[in-house]
């Protein structure tokens, strides 16, 4: 019974992270498309960077769920259940987005050009800005059987060693390298920071790593303040190292935020009966919301040609950030009842 109550916070955290990602892209896409400059641009990027924790928290929930030693997860389950959904989503929505660009931008070449653009987008991660997550997810799924062996058989000390190793070479070293022209020589044979978040989610949820509540709060505050300061001086001072530091999932500041938030929710939100009912509804459609929300954003910005900086600025962006999640959830809900598509979204 205790475990069921505790797992309830996964739904809450995924739902909140999902909404944060939608807000993140509502602001960020506006800055990319309309390039406002000055204070509006600074305000937009400040909001965007303070929400970077959302994607790592998503990955941490995945680790907490799928690295559980009690969960049956061999290659047969990976290839039979998890990979088909991720690959299907990649193929279907890369085509949808290629078709959107083809129509909205009035691209020449007809069907052959459209199909060529779609194939290129799939093969070379050339689709829309949020689709990189699917490539990361596919890689994580492929490695899950090995990751589970690691989490199941390593001791607590060995698990902490692995986490420190990942943190050092996939967060600390990249953070230092933002300030160096050539980068540090020592590196580890691992390309991405996401296994760190995967194992951190499992370690914190299983309480094989315990972070006191006060320390967790301090991590969130320090990471957020650090991101605000780095973002401000990076933009206003045109310091590229600080811009990189404040905008990367490999930044130690984002790592501090994500670990602190996950740990706080783990410790405080353990009773499913206390969770707002809207959160499970969002969580159930979270994958569909993630896939579709940029489509809604681009429809507003590119088709309706609504420039929020000419219609209220940050206040309009805040309004859109409230509207886009609702619209995207509704579309995801509808598609969730369409045969075939419902298996993806």
Quote the CA–CA distance of 283 and 276 in Å, as a whole number.
12
**For position 190, what pLDDT does the model report?**
61
Cβ–Cβ contacts within 10 Å for residue 154, how many? 15
* Dihedral angle sign, alpha carbons of residues 247, 248, 251, 254: positive
Q: Which residues contact 332 (CB under 8 A, 6 or more apart)?
A: 285, 288, 289, 291, 292, 345
Q: Which range of residues forms the domain containing residue 231?
A: 2-343
Quote the CA–CA distance of 10 and 109 in Å, as a whole number.
46
**For position 342, what pLDDT does the model report?**
85
The region that residue 78 occupies, defined by phi over 0 for left and psi between -120 and 50 for alpha, beta otherwise, is: alpha
Rounded average pLDDT over 37-48: 95
**pLDDT per residue as tens digits for the range 161-173:** 999 999 998 899 8
- Given pLDDT bands bounded at 50, 70 and 90, which one contains residue 274? low
In the predicted model, is pLDDT for residue 331 greater than 80?
A: yes
Decide if 200 contacts 60 (C-beta within 8 A).
yes
* Dihedral angle sign, alpha carbons of residues 196, 198, 199, 204: positive
**For position 256, what pLDDT does the model report?**
97
% of the chain surpassing 70 pLDDT = 94
Tell me which residue has tokens 């790593």: 209
Which three-class secondary structure state does DSSP give residue 178? coil
Q: What is the dihedral of CA 233, 238, 239, 242, to 10 degrees?
A: 50
The helix (H) or strand (E) run that includes residue 315 is: helix 314-335
Rounded average pLDDT over 41-58: 96
**For position 2, what pLDDT does the model report?**
42
Number of domains composing the chain: 1
Of the listed ranges 55-64, 70-79, 298-307, the least confidently predicted one is: 70-79
- Given pLDDT bands bounded at 50, 70 and 90, which one contains residue 183? confident
Residue burial 280-316, b: 16+ Cβ < 10 Å; e: rest: eebbbbbbbbbbbbbbbbbebbeeeeeebbeeebbeb
**Between 251 and 1, where is the model more confident?**
251
Decide if 62 contacts 290 (C-beta within 8 A).
no
Quote the CA–CA distance of 162 and 202 in Å, as a whole number.
12
- Given pLDDT bands bounded at 50, 70 and 90, which one contains residue 68? confident
**For position 285, what pLDDT does the model report?**
94
In the predicted model, is pLDDT for residue 98 greater than 80?
A: yes
Rounded average pLDDT over 57-83: 89
**pLDDT per residue as tens digits for the range 236-250:** 999 999 999 999 999
Decide if 294 contacts 26 (C-beta within 8 A).
no
- Given pLDDT bands bounded at 50, 70 and 90, which one contains residue 73? confident
Rounded average pLDDT over 145-163: 91
Instruction: Report how far apart, in Å, the C-alpha atoms of 117 and of each of 77, 91, 105, 120, 196 are.
Output: 32, 12, 13, 5, 34
Quote the CA–CA distance of 176 and 245 in Å, as a whole number.
9
Decide if 280 contacts 15 (C-beta within 8 A).
yes
Rounded average pLDDT over 61-67: 93
């Amino acid at each position: 019974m205790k475990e069921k109550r505790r797992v309830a916070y996964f739904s809450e955290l995924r739902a909140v992270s999902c909404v944060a990602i939608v807000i993140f892209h509502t602001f960020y896409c506006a800055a990319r498309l309309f390039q406002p400059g000055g204070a509006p641009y600074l305000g937009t990027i400040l909001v965007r960077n303070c929400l970077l924790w959302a994607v790592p928290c998503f990955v941490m929930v995945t680790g907490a769920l799928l690295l559980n030693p009690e969960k049956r997860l061999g290659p047969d389950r990976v290839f039979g259940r998890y990979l088909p959904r991720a690959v299907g989503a990649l193929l279907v929505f890369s085509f949808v987005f290629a078709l959107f660009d083809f129509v909205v931008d009035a691209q020449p070449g007809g069907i052959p050009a459209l199909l060529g653009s779609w194939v290129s987008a799939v093969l070379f991660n050339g689709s829309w800005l949020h689709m990189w997550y699917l490539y990361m997810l596919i890689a994580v799924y492929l490695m899950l059987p090995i990751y589970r062996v690691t989490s199941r058989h390593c001791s607590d000390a060995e698990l902490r060693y692995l986490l420190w190793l990942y943190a050092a070479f996939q967060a600390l070293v990249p953070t230092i390298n933002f300030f160096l022209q050539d980068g540090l020589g020592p590196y580890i044979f691992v390309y991405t920071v996401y296994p760190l978040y995967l194992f951190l989610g499992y370690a914190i949820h299983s309480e094989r790593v315990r972070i006191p509540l006060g320390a967790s709060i301090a991590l969130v505050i320090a990471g957020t303040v650090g991101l605000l300061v780095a973002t401000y001086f990076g933009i206003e001072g045109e310091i590229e190292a600080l811009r990189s530091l404040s905008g990367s999932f490999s930044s130690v500041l984002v790592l501090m935020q994500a670990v602190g938030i996950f740990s706080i929710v783990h410790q405080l939100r353990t009773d499913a009966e206390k969770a707002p009912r809207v959160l499970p509804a969002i969580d159930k459609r979270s994958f569909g919301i993630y896939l579709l929300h940029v489509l809604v954003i681009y429809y507003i910005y590119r088709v309706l040609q609504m420039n929020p900086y000419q219609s209220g600025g940050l206040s309009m962006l805040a309004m859109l950030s409230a509207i886009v999640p609702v619209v995207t959830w509704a579309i995801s809900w509808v598609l969730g009842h369409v045969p075939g598509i419902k298996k993806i979204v």
